[in-house]
Chain A
Amino acid sequence: DAGVIQSPRHEVTEMGQEVTLRCKPISGHNSLFWYRQTMMRGLELLIYFNNNVPIDDSGMPEDRFSAKMPNASFSTLKIQPSEPRDSAVYFCASSTPGRGNQPQHFGDGTRLSIL
Chain B
Amino acid sequence: AQTVTQSQPEMSVQEAETVTLSCTYDTSESDYYLFWYKQPPSRQMILVIRQEAYKQQNATENRFSVNFQKAAKSFSLKISDSQLGDAAMYFCAYRSRAQGGSEKLVFGKGTKLTVNP
Asked if A56 is at the interface of the complex by the 8 Å CB criterion, the answer is: yes
In the complex the two chains form, is B103's CB within 8 Å of A97's CB? yes
What is A's interface to B at a CB cutoff of 8 Å? 31, 33, 35, 42-45, 48, 50, 55-56, 59, 89, 91, 93, 95, 97, 99, 101, 103-106, 108-109, 111
B31-90 residues with Cβ-Cβ distance < 8 A to A are: 33, 35, 37, 42-45, 47, 50, 52
| A89 to B39 alpha-carbon distance, docked (Å) | 13
In the complex the two chains form, is B107's CB within 8 Å of A42's CB? yes
In the complex the two chains form, is B103's CB within 8 Å of A31's CB? yes
What is B's interface to A at a CB cutoff of 8 Å? 33, 35, 37, 42-45, 47, 50, 52, 91, 97, 99, 102-110
In the complex the two chains form, is B105's CB within 8 Å of A45's CB? yes
Partner of A89, one of B33, B43, B52, B104: B43
In the complex the two chains form, is B104's CB within 8 Å of A56's CB? yes
| A51 to B43 alpha-carbon distance, docked (Å) | 27
Some 25 contacts from A to B, beta carbons below 8 A apart, are A33-B103, A42-B109, A42-B110, A43-B91, A43-B105, A44-B107, A45-B104, A45-B105, A50-B103, A55-B102, A55-B103, A56-B104, A95-B103, A97-B103, A99-B97, A99-B99, A101-B33, A103-B35, A103-B47, A106-B44, A106-B45, A108-B42, A109-B43, A109-B44, A109-B45
